[in-house]
Amino acid sequence: MCGIAGFVTNRPLVLEETIQHMADRLLHRGPDDSGCWVDTEVGLALGHRRLSILDLSPNGHQPMMSACGRYVIVLNGEIYNHEVLRRTLDTASAAPGWRGHSDTEVLLAAISRWGLERALDESVGMFAFALWDRQARTLFLARDRFGEKPLYYGSIGSSFVFGSELKALTAFPQADPEIDRQALAAMLQFGYVPSPWSIYRGIGKLPAGSVLAVHVGAGGQPNIGDPRRYWTIDDDSSRLRNELADADEESLADSLDLLLRQAVRAQMSADVPLGAFLSGGIDSSLVVALMQSESTRPVQTFTIGFREDGYDEAPFAKAVARHLGTAHTEWYISSAEAADIIPELPRIFDEPFADSSQIPTTLVARMTRQRVTVSLSGDGGDELFGGYPRYSFAQTLWRRFGSLPGWSRRSIATVAAGLSPRSWDRLLQVTTPARFRQSINGHRIHRLATLIDADSFEDMYVRLLSQWPADCGLVLGDGARPHVPVSVQSNGQPYLDRMRRWDIACYLPDDILVKVDRAAMSVSLETRAPLLDHRVARFAWALPAHALVRNGRGKWLLRRLLDRYVPPALIERPKAGFGMPVARWLRTDLREWAEALLDERKLRKQGLLAPEQVRRMWREHLAGTHDHQSRLWSVLMFQAWLEAQGTATHHAPSGHAAAPAM
């Protein structure tokens, strides 16, 4: 895993110096080596920072040129089936004289022999790369199927720029980034900036599973095309759905075992120490179980624990590790230690990001990097196998209220929101049996009020995922209303498929995978997700509903497979997630920090957010009448990011498009 950057320009720049400066901003992604390659005739430069995982010798150095001399590549990520591709090329007498055993060299050989389209189709991996075709004078950008590896691109003046993180792009000469208010509104709504936007006007994210072509014309003028999808999760799914529809439970588990074992085995390939994150949940436990079954020595596993009621899952992970016989490391941290990392988050995440589980993820990455360079994880299991509790909740809620007339649902919502959460709690105290009070309270009633008057199931699910309402007017200026980037309505598909489709298209690549990538790469740790092997994912997408959710509980097939390796008693418990006690921290340990960021005079001077709304939320949260932790955290993470940018960022006029044409 590495960092890449590059540009095409017709400006009179010193190409080597410029690209080296951009690449050096990505030192944390690749501390082991660096390189650059320029084509002065067309004004193109490619830069690379290397984290050496495969072929630690100079033969793995990048940028790398193909044996035929036509292509030059910078690659971030891993091609897990590179040995299979190498053998295929050898068998067909289509291989060059191999210089080393890196996956980058194999990918270049595959592109030279088969072309980019087939090489992408044949490759199994996580990657973002830039490929310069010297003959066609075309630069190709490509990103893996699920967006595990990041890739930003856009225009700065007449120049085309790209990089693994925004900090590489803003290092380009005369970069003058402008905050896009529509992207900001989307970030505050969801807690992340959804693709294809970035927080900056004119800079976007290459969508997962896409290729972008940039042809360099006469005079070095870049002609930027539109991203083109080379893969979707629906590919071949209709045929596979028919095959799996009548399969018995044991054969489904057998098939998944084979596919997932194949993925784990491939992702355990590394020339450096390797381990795994272990939370004690279904996904990470299954990945570790398969790793241990494929290993001749104890797998290194890592967990962090918190001395906070309701937040510590370390004992469950330890029990699973003991059963599987792994070499387990755990680190218990205090609230103060966890809070200490918060000032570093804007630098680590580079773009405003407000999933508070970024804190424990960063901490476990730091601990893991002390022992290994590569760590496997269980990411993707919830989205692919229907694991989120909200899936059952959303379907139940819509079935109960969706058939009511709109006026009726709006009336119920008005009544529910009419009392404060604290007033509801007092009322429930005298009207509701004690055994029901844990499942219903004032905060949950207020949350329901924001959902039941939705116009459609799609609208309700988006609201369920939202922190700030889309129409709240928090971001000042015309055109600041966020645009929902993906529809969860699709040809009358079942509710579960609609929600999974949203999460696979948005939440997974722009929240979960961003969180893991930035946290891990901040300490030069490579992470891998076997559940996101596209063959495993395609199988999951084609599974019948009864193999995903039963009796309101998701990931049924994953549970049954895990039963073969770990006793159910060690796993079966309510899903806790990877959260932190942010609500309490904001009233105690973080109050002074938050107050400074939410200062009314500062908000007015910035001219981006409505000070009255922010301050009202802050007062209500401090008073304990409302729990606004999610909304406040998104504002605070943006404010902290904005402050960290200093004078490097200015504010775009309202109404601008958020990204290049997609």
pLDDT at 655 over 50: no
Lowest mean pLDDT among 296-310, 323-337, 383-397, 582-596: 296-310
Distance in angstroms (rounded) separating the CA atoms of residues 53 and 98: 18
For residues 45 and 37, the answer to whether their CB atoms sit within 8 Å is: yes
Q: Tell me, what's the pLDDT at 441?
A: 73
Encode pLDDT of 608-625 as tens digits. 999 999 999 999 999 988
Mean pLDDT of 547-566: 95
Q: Is there a contact between 303 and 364 (Cβ–Cβ < 8 Å)?
A: yes
Q: Tell whether the model's pLDDT for residue 9 goes beyond 50.
A: yes
pLDDT in tens, 186-229: 999 999 999 999 999 999 999 999 999 999 988 778 999 999 99
Average pLDDT on 466-476 reads 91
Q: How far is CA 298 from the centre of its chain?
A: 29
Distance CA 392, CA 409 (A): 20
Secondary-structure percent of the chain, ordered helix, strand, coil, rounded to 5:
45, 15, 35
The runs of H, that is alpha helices, within 280-351 are: 282-294, 314-324, 335-340, 345-349
**Element containing residue 49 per DSSP (H, E):** strand 44-50
Q: What is the pLDDT of residue 339?
A: 82
β-strand pairing of 125-133 with 138-143:
antiparallel
pLDDT at position 486, please?
Answer: 61
Among 15-24, 104-113, 466-475, 532-541, which is the least confidently predicted range? 466-475
Query: What pLDDT does 574 receive?
Result: 62
Of the candidate ranges 299-303, 519-523, 655-659, the one whose mean pLDDT is the lowest? 655-659
Q: Which of 18-22, 141-145, 362-366, 444-448 has the lowest mean pLDDT?
A: 444-448
pLDDT value at residue 432: 72
pLDDT tier at 576, thresholds 50, 70, 90: low
Structure tokens at 518: 């930035």
Place 656 in a pLDDT band, splitting at 50, 70 and 90.
Answer: very low
DSSP string, 543-582: S-GGGT-BTTB--HHHHHHHTTTS-GGGT-S----S---H
Question: pLDDT tens across 234-271, in order?
Answer: 876 778 998 999 899 999 999 999 999 999 999 999 88
Identify the band that residue 493 occupies on the pLDDT scale cut at 50, 70 and 90.
confident
In this predicted structure, what is the pLDDT of residue 431?
75
Residue of 66, 64, 58 whose CA lies nearest to 89: 66
Least confidently predicted of 45-54, 296-305, 647-656: 647-656
Residues with active-site annotation: 2
Q: Is the dihedral of CA 436, 438, 439, 444 positive or negative?
A: positive
Checking if the pLDDT of 489 tops 60, the result is: no
Q: Which residues pair with 74 in a beta bridge?
A: 130
Under 8 Å between Cβ of 219 and 44:
no
Q: Which of 185, 212, 215, 209 is nearest to 197 (CA)?
A: 185
With both helix axes pointing from N to C terminus, report the angle between 282-294 and 314-324 in degrees, rounded to the nearest 10: 20
Per DSSP, the three-state class of 522 is coil
pLDDT tens digits for 95-154? 888 888 899 999 999 999 999 999 999 999 999 999 999 999 999 999 999 999 999 999
User: Where residue 551 falls among pLDDT bands split at 50, 70, 90?
Assistant: confident
- Give the model's pLDDT for residue 662: 31
Whether residue 531 has pLDDT greater than 60? yes
Please give the C-alpha separations between residue 353 and each of 189, 320, 637, in angstroms, as whole numbers.
11, 32, 6
Strand 203-205 versus strand 152-156 pairing type: antiparallel
pLDDT band (50, 70, 90) for residue 491: low
Which pLDDT score is estimated for 172? Answer: 96
At 371, list the tokens. Answer: 């022992």
* pLDDT reported for residue 657: 37
Helix (H, G, I), strand (E, B) or coil at 22: helix
pLDDT for the residue 336: 81
How much is the pLDDT for 481? 72
Mean pLDDT (whole number) for 290-316? 86
Q: What's the token pair of residue 487? A: 């529809």
Quick one: what percent of the chain has pLDDT higher than 70? 93
The pLDDT assigned to 309 comes to 58
- pLDDT higher for 99 or 354? 354
- The most distant pair of C-alpha atoms in the chain lies apart, rounded to whole Å, by 80
Strand-strand pairing, 274-277 and 300-306: parallel
For residue range 40-89, what is the model confidence (pLDDT) as tens digits?
A: 999 999 999 988 887 777 888 999 999 999 999 999 999 999 999 999 99
Going along 508-605, which residue ranges are E strands? Answer: 526-528
Distance CA 277, CA 362 (A): 12
Tokens of 440: 């219903």
Angle CA(554)–CA(556)–CA(561) in degrees, nearest 5? 140
Averaged pLDDT of the chain: 90
Residue reference for tokens 């009511």: 404
Query: Which domains, ranges and CATH numbers included, belong to the chain?
Result: 2-229 (3.60.20.10), 237-387+508-570 (3.40.50.620), 390-496 (no CATH), 582-651 (no CATH)
What are the start-end ranges of the H helices in 73-139? 82-91, 103-114, 116-122
CA 526, CA 407: separation in Å to the nearest integer? 52
Statement: residue 484 has pLDDT above 50? yes
